[in-house]
Amino acid sequence: MQNSINFSSMTKPDSLTFKHHVIIWLVSAVIWILVRSIRWQHIGSSVRPENTQCIVCFWHARLLMMPLLVGKWSGPGIVSHHKDGELITRIFMKFGFTAARGSSSKGGARALLRLIRITKSGASPGITPDGPRGPAQKVKAGVAQLAIKANLPVLPVCYATQKYWRLSSWDNFYVPKPFSRGVAVFGEPLSAYPDESAEAFTIRIQSAMDKVQQKADTFFCAKQP
């Protein structure tokens, strides 16, 4: 099985250096500043993990603010096994958000079954369908496989801000600028059709993700005179 999501323990023993802990503290502080200083607006579907169990789907580049923009949602978010993934996990935990270690590069039916068992507990996992190595903004089949097996809808989400930075990473990671305006766009949840293949469902998820991103990225441009 290709492009499945590998799921392991929720946390790892502390193997981080002092430098890593400083980074965690600084990034956490930045997130709090951005959440407090940006005037956020939510548009689109009213479906949220707090009222409908679902799979929250968002691009890797828009990971930074997501745990705090989706209502009363505590994860788990699927985070890669890479060292950077451990940093993300620790940052999420500071906001009461659980993170499950996983990677689209490590597949297998057993890993998929472990994720399905997590959804059986009522959790709504959050997934970056293009992570952790890309290609950027290209949905891999793992999300569709999980949605079909767990019988859960996929909720496409994207945010954007009036002012922002883009980092020189593989995904041009998106960093909102403080004291700006922001929008979080929620698409309508997608469920697999009866007997629909993972490949066909992946195409529909890709289209939905493209639409919420376009709506978010052009939201403030459309408001210009």
Query: pLDDT digits over 77-109, tens only?
Result: 777 666 667 788 888 888 888 877 655 445 456
Strand partners, 56: 126, 155
Most confident of 30-39, 71-80, 105-114, 204-213: 204-213
User: Which one is predicted more confidently, 50 or 83?
Assistant: 50
What pLDDT does 7 receive? 40
What pLDDT does 57 receive? 96
On whether residue 136 sits in a domain, the answer given is yes
User: Which one is predicted more confidently, 222 or 3?
Assistant: 222
Specify the pTM: 0.86
On whether residue 160 sits in a domain, the answer given is yes
- Check whether 9 has a pLDDT greater than 70: no
On whether residue 1 sits in a domain, the answer given is no
CATH of the domain at 26: 3.40.1130
Residue 101: CB partners within 8 Å, gap ≥ 6? 7, 8, 9, 10, 11, 12, 79, 80, 81, 85, 86, 89
| Domain total in the chain | 1
What pLDDT does 214 receive? 98
Q: What mean pLDDT comes out for the span 53-79? A: 88
Token pair for residue 197? 């293949």
Could you give the angle at which helices 109-120 and 142-150 cross, rounded to 10 degrees?
50
Could you give the angle at which helices 83-94 and 18-37 cross, rounded to 10 degrees?
50
Structural domain including 30 reads 6-222
Q: What mean pLDDT comes out for the span 2-10? A: 40
What pLDDT does 98 receive? 81
Q: What are the two backbone dihedrals, phi and then psi, of residue 205, each rounded to the nearest 5 degrees?
A: -65, -40
On whether residue 70 sits in a domain, the answer given is yes
- Check whether 72 has a pLDDT greater than 60: yes
Q: What mean pLDDT comes out for the span 127-143? A: 90
What pLDDT does 1 receive? 34
Q: Where are the beta strands (DSSP E) in 164-214?
A: 164-166, 174-176, 181-186
User: Mapping DSSP to helix (H, G, I), strand (E, B) and coil, where does residue 49 land?
Assistant: coil
Q: What mean pLDDT comes out for the span 47-64? A: 95
On whether residue 211 sits in a domain, the answer given is yes
Q: Are the C-beta atoms of 187 and 205 separated by less than 8 Å?
A: no
